[in-house]
Amino acid sequence: MRHLTEAANAFYNMSLAHEITVDSEFRIEKCEGLEDSLECTVKETMKRAFWDLLRSSLEADPPDYQPALRLLVEIKQSLNGLVLPNQKTLQKLVDSSLDLDAAREQLSQTGHLSLENYAIQVINLMRQFCAPVRDQEVENLRKIDDPVEAFRNAFIVLEEMHMDLANFTITQMRPFIRQQAVNYERSKFADFLKAQEIIGIDGLRRTREWIREAHLRLSPSNEATTSPNSMPPTNVSFGVTGGCDSTSEEAIPLTPNNILREAYLALLTWPVDKEWPETVVMDQQRLVELGNQLTNIVTLTSLVLVVCTYIASNASELLADLPELMKTGPNMMLEVKRLLCQTGVYVFRTYAIDSLEKKASLLVDEIKYTLERWLNEIAPTASQPGNTNPSHGNSKTALFLLPNQTSTILESQIREVVYGRHPVYQLMQKRALMFLRSAFSPNPSESVPLPSGFGVLVDATRPSQIDTFDKSAACRTDPSAPCSSRQSLPMNVPAMATGVRSATSPLSEDNDACKKELFRLYCKPEHLSLTNLASRLLPLLIHNRNVFGPRYAEIIQSILIPRTNEPIRSLQSTSLDREPSTFESDTDNSQNNHSNWIDDKSNGGSGSNDMTMQ
């Protein structure tokens, strides 16, 4: 048990240092349990009992001031905790303001203790020690006449002041922590492994399996069945194959760097029910978010390509009553692409999507709504022969609706894309991974171009489009919101072939995604960008390799030595050991992303970066 405790403590300290190093926004926050949870109920009950006991002791006849004295001792200790060891003047100020010996003497002589005066002294000290953001909270304590209630609220503010001090200390010490982070994490991880080894546990078992699987994917004998490069050929009818260098079937050399790079890329598509390697478990949540980001990018790109290709190939049927629009095909499809991108971003930003089925249903409904809205907007009038919907009783609601066959086919295609079974999705995922491989390769080209097909998201990921998405969301959920004529339908127009849909989405009842930390990824349109994905992933890989490089080298050596005649001396320099290559920007902020990579490397990548295999 002692060894397990030591291992847990080593891992906790390593995790804390790691979070401070890789997360510039890391803060210590008050742990709030669920309001109706047992933990929260017990905590609130104990607090209430403490203050009720204090009040009853003061209201007794005669009053019992011993609980109040113990309370003053705790408050004094809390205030001293806000003073640094070298701040002798402030320490003397606390001692003189809360002289507990004088309080005991007063109590013994008079049998009375003036808690009101001590409450004023405590508030005055808090006013001097607190951060400016707490000034108003401290001043509000002066308005409380009941001393018990004043002390109760003072404890709450003191707890916040301690967190403020801790977060300030973290901010000030972060550069120094980053300088020592690599060596510190290595040391603590070694302690963690040693404690596990004593009780017969291999602390790198899952890491060995992870790297061995990456080696198998690159092995020539397994390339045909296990390599992510062996995606099925894509049907040319979808208009996204051919002429893409990023999907060429070139064999990847079986080198240590390529094995490690392939292992890192596998983390972006890690199965939900599979245990994570020990060396990346501290970044598990970040890697899950990056994997979700990759999925959203590939999904939205594939949906735009599939839907637009279907619309273009069936335009003669959909626009049979609008022959004049057939002459402006390219411009027409650009507008459809824009609307589909906007729709996808709206879904990812607005809903807490926790299952593929929910994601598919949302996208099916929203894309149908978008297409029917578009059909009605491009119509010269709201009424056309052959498109009347008699089920709504009013001939003025005659409109263009998707034919049942078209609606069924589109729903099937959309669901295939969301579930990752569509050949276009597989191709676009393959291109995205090849883009990341090129970015992290040992000798990348001067500029890594954006893969073919992903250009459809360029406009959607520009910051200038965020306001457009917000206005579109307001049009969907607030009938009184100001909307452009291109974003809304008349209120009497049912915009869904599957049922009446006015300005309010029937699926917006559970709209709370942006309130949930787990789904914060979906609230940022700029995350629908491969460049943004690479810029967020690379600092994690840099730091991970700097810390665990020697461990990876030993594992890869044990795998490759049977295939070589001499020991491997070192791993070749890669983009993870130096400044990253320049990407062809698919957003206006890519240059800032590149500089951030270098900053993160310099801040978090200090210490030994030796990947030498002895």
Place of tokens 């404690």: 195
Tokens 């809903």 found at: 351
Sign of CA dihedral 272, 273, 278, 281: positive
Cα–Cα nearest to 597, from 614, 613, 578: 578
Q: Does residue 518 have a pLDDT over 60?
A: no
pLDDT for position 488: 34
Q: Does residue 287 lie within any of the structural domains?
A: no
Sequential DSSP letters for 368-405:
HHHHHHHHHHHSSSS--TT---GGGS-GGG------HH
**pLDDT greater than 80 at residue 418:** yes
Of 160, 175, 190, which residue constitutes the final position of a domain? 175
User: CB atoms < 10 A from the CB of 360, how many?
Assistant: 19
Residue 340, in any domain of the structure:
yes
Kindly report the backbone phi and psi dihedral angles of residue 383, in degrees, each rounded to the nearest multiple of 5, phi listed first.
Answer: -130, 130
- Tens of pLDDT, residue by residue over 276-318, are 999 999 999 999 999 999 998 999 999 999 998 888 888 777 6
Residues 6 or more apart from 208 whose CB is under 8 A from it? 202, 555
Q: Is the pLDDT of residue 388 over 90?
A: no
Model pLDDT for residues 213-245, shown as the tens digit of each residue = 999 998 876 544 444 444 343 333 344 443 344
Q: Is the pLDDT of residue 120 over 70?
A: yes
Does pLDDT of 271 surpass 80?
yes
Is residue 441 included in any domain, yes or no?
Answer: no
Residue 83: inside a domain: yes
pLDDT of residue 586: 47
* pLDDT confidence bin for 574, thresholds 50/70/90: low
Evaluate whether 472 touches 487 at the Cβ level (below 8 Å): yes
Pick from 300-314, 388-402, 489-503: least confident: 489-503
Residue 303 lies in a domain: yes
H helix runs in 440-490, sequence order = 466-477
Judge contact between 158 and 127, C-beta under 8 A. no
Other C-beta atoms closer than 10 Å to the C-beta of 142 total 13
For the chain, report the end-to-end CA distance as a whole number of angstroms: 34
Query: Of residues 562 and 137, which shows the higher confidence score?
Result: 137
Higher pLDDT, 507 or 343: 343
Query: Based on the domain organization, do 163 and 301 belong to the same domain?
Result: no
Note whether 299 and 425 are within 8 A (CB): yes
Q: Do 152 and 299 fall within a single domain?
A: no
Instruction: Determine contact, residues 470/319, Cβ cutoff 8 Å.
Output: no
Mean pLDDT of 43-54: 90
CA 333 to chain centre: 32
Domain coverage including residue 150? 2-175
Q: Is residue 565 part of a domain?
A: no
For the segment 36-46, the average pLDDT, to the nearest whole number, is 82
Q: Of the candidates 530, 559, 574, which is a domain's last residue? A: 530
Q: What is the pLDDT of residue 372?
A: 85
pTM: 0.73
In a domain, 588, yes or no: no
pLDDT for the residue numbered 524: 62
Domain boundary among 510, 530, 550: 530
User: What is the model's pLDDT at position 444?
Assistant: 60
Q: What is the pLDDT of residues 130-175, one digit of tens each?
A: 999 999 999 999 999 999 999 999 999 999 999 999 999 999 999 9
CA distance 503 to 490: 9
Q: Could you tell me if 328 and 461 lie in one domain? A: yes
Kindly state whether residues 493 and 352 are assigned to the same domain. yes
Share of the chain above pLDDT 90, in %: 35
What is the distance between the alpha carbons of residues 176 and 505, in angstroms, rounded to a whole number? 51
584 located within any domain: no
Q: What is the pLDDT of residue 495?
A: 33
Q: What is the mean pLDDT of the chain?
A: 75
DSSP secondary structure letters along 185-200? HHHHHHHHHHHHHHTT
Confidence of residue 457 (pLDDT cuts 50, 70, 90): confident
- What is d(CA 101, CA 487) in angstroms, rounded to the nearest whole number? 73
DSSP-based three-state secondary structure for 562: helix
Spatial CB neighbours of 357, under 8 Å, sequence gap ≥ 6: none
Of 56 and 241, more confident: 56
Whether 300 and 170 map to the same domain: the answer is no
Report which of 149, 143, 159, 116 is spatially closest to residue 48, judged by C-alpha positions.
149
Q: Is residue 305 located within the same domain as residue 170?
A: no
Indicate whether 508 pLDDT > 50: no
386/70: higher pLDDT: 70
As for how many domains the chain has, the answer is 2
The per-residue DSSP string of 407-443 comes to HHHHHHHHHHHHTT-SHHHHHHHHHHHHHHHHHTSSS
Lowest mean pLDDT among 417-431, 466-480, 564-578: 466-480
Give, in order, the Cα–Cα distances in Å from 194 to each of 8, 200, 396.
12, 10, 78
Stronger pLDDT, 480 or 183, i.e. the higher one: 183
- Average pLDDT of the residues in 534-543: 91
